[in-house]
């Protein structure tokens, strides 16, 4: 399971690459472009401008949701679905740098990651049971 610290840290493969302007892909499709990215130790995140997908809103994604980055195609791949991202706490342009707001967002994404892992595990168990 993702720890709170891991949730706010980019994978080592990202390094200090400036992700601003990169397209962002959820597990089930495009969600927008990186508007801002930070590389603060244990507090890294990306702000994604969703364009028309969520009526021009922005979303805050902890760096730990980044699965990989395609430097050639300038795409960031995150390990959450569009629905999970859409249901996240609403982006607060005045508070998104505050620890309290980031804590709320982090709790949501950590919970959703765990729920997704539990769903996958239950689906695998069900498939194994049917196969016996």
Please check whether residue 47 is in contact with residue 32, taking contact to mean a CB–CB distance below 8 angstroms: no
Count up the domains in the chain and report the number: 1
Contact 45, 61 (CB under 8 A): yes
CA dihedral over 36, 104, 14, 40, signed as positive or negative: positive
Does 131 fall in a domain?
no
pLDDT tens-place string over residues 60-91 = 999 999 999 999 999 999 999 999 999 999 99
In a domain, 132, yes or no: no
- Quick check: is 106 in a domain? yes
**Matching residue, tokens 């998104």:** 96
Q: What is the pLDDT of residues 42-65, one digit of tens each?
A: 999 999 999 887 777 999 999 999
CATH number of the domain enclosing 22: 2.30.30.240
User: Does residue 16 belong to any structural domain of this protein?
Assistant: yes
The per-residue pLDDT for 46 is 98
Residue numbers of the domain that contains 91 = 4-126
Does position 93 have pLDDT exceeding 80, yes or no? Answer: yes
Phi, psi of 110 (to 5 degrees): -65, -40
């Amino acid at each position: 399971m993702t720890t709170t610290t891991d949730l706010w840290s980019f994978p080592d493969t990202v390094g200090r690459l400036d992700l601003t302007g990169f397209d962002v892909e959820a597990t089930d499709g495009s969600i927008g472009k990186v508007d801002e990215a930070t590389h603060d130790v244990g507090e890294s995140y990306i702000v994604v401008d969703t364009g028309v997908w969520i009526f021009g809103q922005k979303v805050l994604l902890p760096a730990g949701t980044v699965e990989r980055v395609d430097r050639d195609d300038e795409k960031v791949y995150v390990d959450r679905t569009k629905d999970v991202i859409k249901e996240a706490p609403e982006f607060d342009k005045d508070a998104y740098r505050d620890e309290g707001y980031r804590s709320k967002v982090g709790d949501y994404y950590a919970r959703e990651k765990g729920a997704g892992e539990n769903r996958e595990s239950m689906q695998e168990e069900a498939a194994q049971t049917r196969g016996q």
